[in-house]
Amino acid sequence: MPQRMFRSYQGLILLGLCVFFVSKAVNGQLTWYINSRFVPLTIVGIVFLALMAQTIFAENRRSRLHELEHPEHHHDHEHAPSSSALWIMFIPLAIGLLIPARPLDSAAFTTKGFNTSAPLVSSDSSAQIFETESQERNILQWLKLFNYQDDITEFIGQEASVVGFVYFGDELEADQFFVSRFVVSCCAADGFAIAMPVQWEKSKSLEQDAWVVVKGKIESIDLNDTRTPMIVAESVEPADVPAQPYLFP
Amino acid sequence: METTASKRLPRNTILLILIVILVAVASSLMPAGSSTWLWDRLNVFATVFLGIFVEAVPYLLLGTFASGLVEVFIDRDGMSRWVSKRPAAAAISGAFMGMIFPVCECGVVPLTRRLFKKGLPLSAGISFLLAAPVLNPIVILSTASAFGWGQMLLWRFLISLIIAVVVGLVFSVQDDPGEVLLPILSGMEHDHVHAEAGDTVLEKLRKALLITVDEFFDMGRYLIIGSLLAAGLQTFIAQSTLLSIGSGPVLSVLIMLLLAVLLSICSTVDSFVALGFTGAFSFGSVLSFLVFGPMVDIKSTIMYLQVFKRRAVAYIILIPFMISLIAGLVFNYFVK
């Protein structure tokens, strides 16, 4: 492939990646792939991709002008690196465009598994979770409270309101389901699922992976020999996929 | 050249068309919304793959841009003045170069390759390659925020430093870089872009960006192949089966080492992931995960193969593996 043609393809792929990232940033789906802490870094990446595409197109323009002015210097026969670099770089775009975007959900449980307990990050302070209003606590915070507090009596009966997707686990009764979220520290590759059991008489009417808001009172049950918070639901309402579908540890 | 290039193009094109057809057939067979098994797997695969890719691209761009800057702003004489000729000093200074170039394992490979081109000694380059993804300010902060300023942080950095220096010293025995590096490097294949003495800073930046593009395409494809493999393994191999094998002081370390390779997560955040294992795994096993993961994983191995000869890559993988394993075992048996 002639050098200039290779450069044009490079420029197009860079531009394509740039537009792909911008569109994901605009429609808010960037956080379906990475932790929101890293979004600024992606923005830096977008700027770089745009600059690089611009530089490549400018370089081609220069080389064409140079050839017009000095027809005797014919440089374009030079061979560029192998074309495999081009089509492999196209794969992410193909996957991004052909497979409809969907955040991690219970489909990933078969290989990634899910937990009803959560690790404590050293920068966490349980005081912080205590200060959070009970109705503001998310699934991760409830699990941490139950995992790391010796005395949980004060939490029993507190009002809870959590958002997550529905998962029917084998370990539950017929009128129970799990409300679940993925915890992602970097990107979807390191995501792990956490789940909290919910008792609700109309559990059967729910669909797997449907996003819901669960409101009710906290109770403590033993699940797989560990103390786990369970919500006795007063209401379970359908919800939109949150702007950040994942929780951050 | 001519014939191999023209032979290769159709084969690649056919492969690409096949992949597109396969994906198109797969997506037409399964209407969106219906949760068939294959469709679910495909979705998880796409999300995990794009996760790794979107996360890694900015780091790779920064690494290749650093490489472009090195090419246009640093000359070979400057390099030989800065870096010590004595192997031990070179290996140690290489290991600490990460404090100045904060790159993770995706960005470090193109940068190291460029530094080799500029005449960096083998021992310094290899210890930089292995140490930089851990011994840099960003990773120190992220490890501290996951585990606190304590034992885990201290041992992670000490053992990574030891491994990097040891491997660097092993390679310092080799006088001829041509035995270790691929010919494109030892032969100093000519670049299409050359910095000239009279260039203005702006002109140099333009050239640095052109080099960035070439290296981004060159290294990016291996990043993509590595991410495809990692995402595929994550989609089809259950972590729980791996973890359930892994109890006992020896097996648990081996499982954590395997998991480090499989997960292929960026060193800047792997401590948060490792934290998830502290409940089920001993200190020593998690430590070996944190030491070995940044040095060797699927995508970095594929990238190493573009810089080093196979035998050299074997050393770069096996020595860190042995030392991480021994460190994990020592902690499992003697410390806790």
pLDDT attached to residue B2: 41
In the predicted model, what is the mean pLDDT of residues B208-217?
90
pLDDT attached to residue B31: 55
Residues 11-70 of A with CB under 8 A from B: 13-14, 17, 21, 24, 30, 32-35, 38, 41-42, 44-45, 48-49, 51-52, 55-56, 59
pLDDT at A128 over 80: no
Whether residue A91 and residue B51 make contact (CB cut-off 8 A), yes or no, is: no
Contacts of residue B150, defined as CB under 8 A and 6 or more positions apart, other chains included, come to: none
Output B247 or A206, whichever has higher pLDDT: A206
Residue with tokens 């000869």: B309
- Name chain A contacts of B62, Cβ cutoff 8 Å: 44
As a whole number of angstroms, the distance between CA A154 and CA A131 comes to 13
B164 to chain A nearest CA, in Å? 25
Residues 167-206 of B with CB under 8 A from A: 192, 206
Which ranges of chain B would DSSP assign to H, the alpha helix? 2-29, 37-73, 76-82, 87-96, 108-117, 122-131, 137-147, 151-172, 183-186, 201-236, 239-245, 249-263, 270-275, 283-292, 298-304, 310-330
pLDDT at A81 over 60: no
Most confident of A107-111, B37-41, B203-207, B275-279: B203-207
Amino acid, res. A105: D
Whether residue B61 and residue A88 make contact (CB cut-off 8 A), yes or no, is: no
Whether residue A188 and residue B263 make contact (CB cut-off 8 A), yes or no, is: no
Most confident of A65-79, B160-174, B255-269: B160-174
In the predicted model, what is the mean pLDDT of residues B103-129?
87
Residue B168: exposure state from Cβ atoms within 10 A (0-12, 13-18, ≥19): buried
pLDDT band of A163, cuts 50, 70, 90: very high
Hey, is the C-beta of A111 within 8 angstroms of any chain B C-beta? yes
For chain A, give the mean pLDDT: 86
Per-residue pLDDT tens digits for B129-187:
999 999 888 788 878 877 878 889 999 999 999 999 999 999 988 777 778 888 765 44
Hey, is the C-beta of B213 within 8 angstroms of any chain A C-beta? yes
For chain B, give the mean pLDDT: 82
As a whole number of angstroms, the distance between CA A197 and CA A180 comes to 9
Hey, is the C-beta of B38 within 8 angstroms of any chain A C-beta? no
Beta bridge partners of A233: A216
* ipTM (interface pTM): 0.90
Element (H, E) at A55: helix A39-69
As a whole number of angstroms, the distance between CA A90 and CA A92 comes to 6
Element (H, E) at A246: strand A246-247
**pTM score of the predicted model:** 0.81
Least confident of B48-62, B189-203, B207-221: B189-203
Least confident of A31-35, A39-43, B13-17, B121-125: B13-17
pLDDT attached to residue B210: 92
Contacts of residue A39, defined as CB under 8 A and 6 or more positions apart, other chains included, come to: A25, A30, A31
Residue B34 backbone dihedrals phi, psi, to 5 degrees: -75, 130
- Name chain A contacts of B152, Cβ cutoff 8 Å: none
How far from chain centre, in Å, is Cα A74?
50
As a whole number of angstroms, the distance between CA B64 and CA B220 comes to 10
A61 to chain B nearest CA, in Å? 14
pLDDT attached to residue A92: 94
- Sort strands A246-247 and A114-115 into parallel, antiparallel or unpaired: unpaired
pLDDT attached to residue B185: 58
Output A168 or A118, whichever has higher pLDDT: A168
pLDDT attached to residue B60: 85
Whether residue A119 and residue B279 make contact (CB cut-off 8 A), yes or no, is: yes
As a whole number of angstroms, the distance between CA B194 and CA B68 comes to 11
Nearest partner of A171 among A86, A93, A89, A230, judged by Cα: A230
pLDDT band of A72, cuts 50, 70, 90: low
Contacts of residue B117, defined as CB under 8 A and 6 or more positions apart, other chains included, come to: B71, B185, B188
What is the percent of chain A with per-residue pLDDT over 90, rounded to a whole number?
42
